[in-house]
């Protein structure tokens, strides 16, 4: 195991207040945008399938502190939170879920195909595990160019059941690629608990099998995430080696859509109420930083106004026109 307590990589114990404010702003932007989208799905205004990430906001919100402009973050079918944390593009996300041409994928992708290269989001795709090898390819390019950039694929616990996940870890290990794998272990893949699919809940064993440094973190504890991700990202960037981070978290909504999925035959009711209270990343951050409570109220008001404005922008945007759409399709004469 890489030693984070060694002299070179001493953990910092205090996250400064201004950093906490920035992270809180990202978390609130994600939480409120996701809840807004949930209401619009329920009302029928949004018809694109959306896998919401309420409850999973903390990890990407902290990660965004340590990114360089040339780094590339990749997502999955559930990526609104990663997209917003990296890009802060509420407008592009809302227009995209409405299929409008001002959307971040020009209205061609919807919720599951988000992209914003200029701001460091390399893309998300709904094929489970699909972006893990893409991130390895990006990391190989970064290595060949000999720059200091890194690639960061996010994926769920379900993706570790895909062959391509293991091939990617092997490749990253053997080729020494600057990839920070981030597994969001929310304990479910659709409606199946991890213990119905795997012999144990922890995913770090896969990294160990490929001799990749790894750690399991509490994905809802902002302060611990800050301390660890700071060192881990520095490690991947400086050493040009892969690292595997497993973050334990939980989604408040069901697999897809606005409902909580308490009635689909899975044990969620008691667990969900704990994750929504004592394990809520926002409540935990505010309890550590008393002074953030006023800031929190102000952010909520500010973010609501921003979301309403972004929604109007999205609604008023046009759909992509036919000529443009056809120009994106490959066909030989
Ligand atoms: C290759 C592939 N197999 C199956 C699916 C259907 N599918 C969509 S999401 C999902 C569950 C993924 O679970 P996980 O990776 O844990 O992510 P989470 O939804 O928990 O964020 C499945 C099986 C798919 N999209 N792609
Ligand atoms: Mg999962």
pLDDT per residue over 150-199, tens digit each?
Answer: 999 999 999 999 999 999 999 999 999 999 999 999 999 999 999 999 99
7-251+265-327 maps to which CATH number?
3.40.50.970
pLDDT mean over 249-266: 91
Position 209 scores a pLDDT of: 97
Three-state DSSP class for 188? strand
Model confidence at 10: pLDDT above 70: no
Model confidence at 9: pLDDT above 70: no
Q: Which atom of ligand 1 is nearest to the CA of 161?
A: 15
Model confidence at 285: pLDDT above 80: yes
Which are the contacts of 252, defined by CB distance < 8 A and separation ≥ 6? 52, 54, 55, 260, 272, 275, 276
188 lines ligand 1 (CB under 6 A): yes
Assigned token pair, 119: 């701001």
Q: How far is the CA of 141 from the centre of ligand 2 (A)?
A: 29
Rounded CA separation 149/166 (Å): 23
- Is residue 180 within 8 Å of 233, Cβ to Cβ? yes
Model confidence at 290: pLDDT above 90: no
Q: Which atom of ligand 1 is nearest to the CA of 129?
A: 1
Q: What is the pTM of this model?
A: 0.95
Model confidence at 13: pLDDT above 70: no
Which are the contacts of 144, defined by CB distance < 8 A and separation ≥ 6? none
Model confidence at 3: pLDDT above 80: no
Q: Which atom of ligand 1 is nearest to the CA of 185?
A: 16
DSSP 8-state class, residue 116: B
Residue 154 C-alpha from the chain's centroid: 6
Q: What angle do CA 225, 154, 195 make, to 5 degrees?
A: 85
User: Mean pLDDT for the chain?
Assistant: 94
What is the β-pairing status of strands 188-189 and 192-193?
antiparallel
Model confidence at 287: pLDDT above 80: yes
126 lines ligand 1 (CB under 6 A): yes
Res. 263 pLDDT band, cuts 50 70 90: confident
Which are the contacts of 272, defined by CB distance < 8 A and separation ≥ 6? 250, 252, 260, 262
Q: How far is the CA of 188 from the centre of ligand 2 (A)?
A: 4
Three-state DSSP class for 101? coil
Residue ranges covered by each domain of the chain: 7-251+265-327
Position 98 scores a pLDDT of: 98
Model confidence at 5: pLDDT above 80: no
Res. 264 pLDDT band, cuts 50 70 90: confident
Percentage of the chain beyond pLDDT 70 is 95
Model confidence at 2: pLDDT above 80: no
pLDDT mean over 304-333: 92
* pLDDT (tens digit per residue) in 227-247: 999 999 999 999 999 999 999
Rounded CA separation 324/307 (Å): 28
Model confidence at 6: pLDDT above 70: no
């Amino acid at each position: 195991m890489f030693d984070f307590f060694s002299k070179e990589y001493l953990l910092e114990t205090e996250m400064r207040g201004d950093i906490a404010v920035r992270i809180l702003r990202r978390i609130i932007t994600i939480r409120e945008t996701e809840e807004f989208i949930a209401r619009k799905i329920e009302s029928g205004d949004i018809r694109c399938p959306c896998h919401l990430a309420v409850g999973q906001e903390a990890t990407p919100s902290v990660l965004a502190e340590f990114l360089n402009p040339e780094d590339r973050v990749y997502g999955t079918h559930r990526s609104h939170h990663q997209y917003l944390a990296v890009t802060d593009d509420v407008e592009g996300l809302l227009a995209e879920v409405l299929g409008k041409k001002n959307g971040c994928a020009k209205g061609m992708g919807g919720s599951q195909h988000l992209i914003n290269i200029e701001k460091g989001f390399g893309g998300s795709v709904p094929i489970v595990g699909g972006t893990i090898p893409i991130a390895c390819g990006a990391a190989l390019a970064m290595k060949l160019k000999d720059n200091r950039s890194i690639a960061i694929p996010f994926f769920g616990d379900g993706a570790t059941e895909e062959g391509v996940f293991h091939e990617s870890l092997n490749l990253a290990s053997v080729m020494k690629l600057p990839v920070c794998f981030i597994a969001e272990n929310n304990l479910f893949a659709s409606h199946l608990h991890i213990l119905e699919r795997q012999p144990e809940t922890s995913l770090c064993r896969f990294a160990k099998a490929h001799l990749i440094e790894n750690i399991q973190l509490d994905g809802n504890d902002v302060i611990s995430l800050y301390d660890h991700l700071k060192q881990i990202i520095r490690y991947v960037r400086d050493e040009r080696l892969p690292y595997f981070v497993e973050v334990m978290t939980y989604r408040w909504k069901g697999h897809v859509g606005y409902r909580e999925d308490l009635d689909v035959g899975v044990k969620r009711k008691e667990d969900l109420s704990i994750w929504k209270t004592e394990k809520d990343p926002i409540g935990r951050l505010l309890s550590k930083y008393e002074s953030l409570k006023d800031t929190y109220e102000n952010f909520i008001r500010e973010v609501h106004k921003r979301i309403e404005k972004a929604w109007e922008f999205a609604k008023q945007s046009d759909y992509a026109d036919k000529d443009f759409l056809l120009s994106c399709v490959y066909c030989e004469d």
